[in-house]
Structure 1
């Protein structure tokens, strides 16, 4: 029978975080003996502890339960890859940080290019009193 969480997962994640069994136990609100039992396979954490255990181990609940921890290797997003998709039927807008396949109202959405600003749609950006202000002098109707 497979369990909802494995001893190896808890031990590996705890060691990756540089935590002792006692430090993990204090973070979750149990004894270090309980953590020892979890890691040796002699017991399992109560379901009510899963959220706090995942937080203490620096993973999501899903990652904790499956043991499949994904590291995000993308350290810098590139806004130049942004794409806008507009539904031709209802006008909904989807903003994606890269290419994608989207549909709305039964229609496949096509990536839209931004229009070049004209005299009515030119943004003015100023820094005033510690805040950035963006002004577009147009009623936007």
Structure 2
């Protein structure tokens, strides 16, 4: 089924909300036979019903259409569990403190999974008074560059947008920083635990 909303997600969310087909039909002013048709793929809800359907199923319209209900386990909003999404079309960087359904330029974005730094993405961190001076050993070309760097603590994120005409470096206030992350437009997201580093070290 490749329509704008699937019967499987309607059924899953209806059951999750402890509703019978008849109860959902009553709330939407349709017949329970209509609900049955939607859930078995023999019909689809009119697009004018999507807002009401999403509301009754306790999800956003985006989640309903995407077929994935978001369950956010990061209820304490610990910034160290932050997630980053990058649009492959425009390079837009979106930060979230938990699970999210995010679209940009008609593309559903997937969360960037951070990798450990490697020999092609060496990171140098130097402590300068109350700041970390961070430099990535990476050429900055229009077709291959570091898009952003971020320093993350449990309650704060500092993010610096980088551009091909500049250098792959940034300064961050040290206060509470536990992780440094950076994004290569070709190779994705990289992460480093700052606690492993000493002054002037590289990884």
TM-score category by the smaller chain? 0.5 to 0.7
Aligned to 1:3: 3
1:65-104 equivalences in 2 (<5 Å): 65-77=65-77, 98-103=156-161
Shift of 1:98: 3.0
**Equivalent residue number for residue 54 of structure 2:** 54
Q: Please give the per-residue CA displacement for 1:85-126, whole angstroms capped at 9, x wherever unaligned.
A: xxxxxxxxxxxx6314245xxx9996669xxxxxxxxxxxxx
Gaps of 5+ in 2: 80-154, 175-203
- 2:23 paired with 1:23: yes
Structure that is richer in helix per residue: 1
Could you tell me how far apart the structure 2 residues matched to 1:100 and 1:50 are? 38
SS in 2 for 1:101: strand
> Unaligned stretches of 5+ in structure 1?
80-96, 114-141
Alpha-carbon shift at residue 52 of structure 1 (Å): 0.5
> Could you tell me how far apart the structure 1 residues matched to 2:171 and 2:8 are?
46
RMSD: 3.1
Equivalent pairs counted in the alignment come to 100
* Structure 1 pair 78–7 and aligned structure 2 pair: CA distance change class (3 A): closer
Q: Please state which structure has a larger fraction of its residues in strand.
A: 2
**Rounded Cα–Cα distance in structure 2 between residues aligned with 1:102 and 1:31:** 53
- Cα deviation, 1:54-102, whole Å, max 9, x if unaligned, reads 01001110110011211111222469xxxxxxxxxxxxxxxxx631424
Give TM-score, length-normalised by structure 1: 0.57
TM-score by length of 2: 0.41
Q: CA contact under 8 A between 1:10 and 1:39: conserved in structure 2?
A: yes
